[in-house]
Amino acid sequence: MRAPTNTAYHKEQKKFMNRYKAREAAFTLIYQHTFAPSNSLLDMYFDEIEERDDLEEDEFIRAILSAFEMNSLDIDELIAARASGWKLDRLARVTLALLRLGVCEMKYCDTPKEIAINEIVELAKTYDSDEAPAFINGILDAIAKEQ
């Protein structure tokens, strides 16, 4: 079966890829933030990445980073409450960054919960250990059900 060739389909595909790249960039910055938590994420963003060609992608990254900075304590409390047997400082930094991004998107960025969980699990498959996707999925799913 051939994919539709209409313009709307291609726009949706481009938006999906742009969001994935934006999410990946936000994850990278949240991960780096675990090494220097006193640094502003938005300052880190502007230092490392020039203005993007895609305004929608740039706005999505900024929205995630702003939401995380304003709500990081609440985000960490949600994660800690569901990571039974694990203290946040004992989690791998990659895992923690992915969890933070997922909670931030679900709770503060209006990303549908199913999409946020799926996208974070896909990033975990690329950047984290083999066990991490299931662990991350379980915690994000528990948080999503309570929201």
CB 119 within 8 A of CB 131: no
With a cut of 80, say whether residue 44 has pLDDT above it: no
pLDDT of residue 28: 92
Which residue blocks in the chain are alpha helix, DSSP H? 7-33, 41-48, 55-82, 93-108, 113-127, 132-146
- Among 17-26, 60-69, 116-125, where is mean pLDDT lowest? 17-26
pLDDT of residue 2: 46
What is the residue extent of each domain of the chain? 10-146
- Among 8-17, 35-44, 121-130, where is mean pLDDT lowest? 8-17
Q: Three-state DSSP class for 84?
A: coil
CB 27 within 8 A of CB 97: yes
Is CATH 3.60.40.10 correct for 10-146?
no
Higher pLDDT, 2 or 55: 55
Report the sign of the C-alpha dihedral through residues 65, 71, 77, 79, in that order.
Answer: negative
**Alpha-carbon gap, residue 24 to 46, rounded angstroms:** 16
pLDDT tens by residue, 76-129: 999 999 998 889 989 999 999 999 999 999 999 989 999 999 999 999 999 999
